[in-house]
């Protein structure tokens, strides 16, 4: 009797790089990009937050370098996504109290 080899299923923390410039660094559950992650896009944008089945889902920070907006370390944009669609967002200001 020949045993069938069990296919490898990603589960836990891992990294995936594509030839197109996309990079996923985060959690995998049963072969799906699900959990907390940081995603880097070819256009230098990045997203850090929650994903479900490879789609932004939940609370996260989206940095849009490609939009040519200027954001310093004092200003950050946070969003809430559901199935990849933007639900709400807010701006956070970080003031240095050591001046």
Res 89 pLDDT > 90? no
11-68 tens-digit pLDDT: 999 999 999 999 999 999 999 999 999 999 998 888 999 999 989 998 888 887 766 6
Count of structural domains, the chain: 1
Domain assignment present for residue 4? The answer is: no
Stated pTM of the model: 0.72
Find the CATH number of the domain harbouring 82.
2.20.110
Contacts of 46 (CB under 8 A, 6+ apart): 38, 39, 40, 62, 63, 65
Q: Is residue 5 part of a domain?
A: no
What is each CA distance from 7 to 4, 10, 15, 17, 73, in whole angstroms? 9, 10, 18, 20, 44
pLDDT confidence bin for 98, thresholds 50/70/90 = very low
């Amino acid at each position: 009797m020949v045993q069938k080899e069990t296919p490898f299923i990603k589960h836990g923390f891992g990294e995936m790089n594509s030839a197109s410039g996309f990079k996923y660094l985060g959690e995998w559950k049963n072969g799906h990009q699900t959990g907390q992650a940081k995603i880097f896009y070819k256009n230098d944008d990045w997203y850090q937050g929650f994903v479900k089945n490879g789609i932004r889902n939940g609370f996260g920070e989206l940095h849009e370098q490609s939009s040519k907006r200027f954001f310093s370390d004092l200003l950050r944009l946070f969003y809430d996504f559901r199935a990849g669609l933007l639900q709400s967002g807010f701006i956070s200001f970080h003031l240095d109290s050591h001046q």
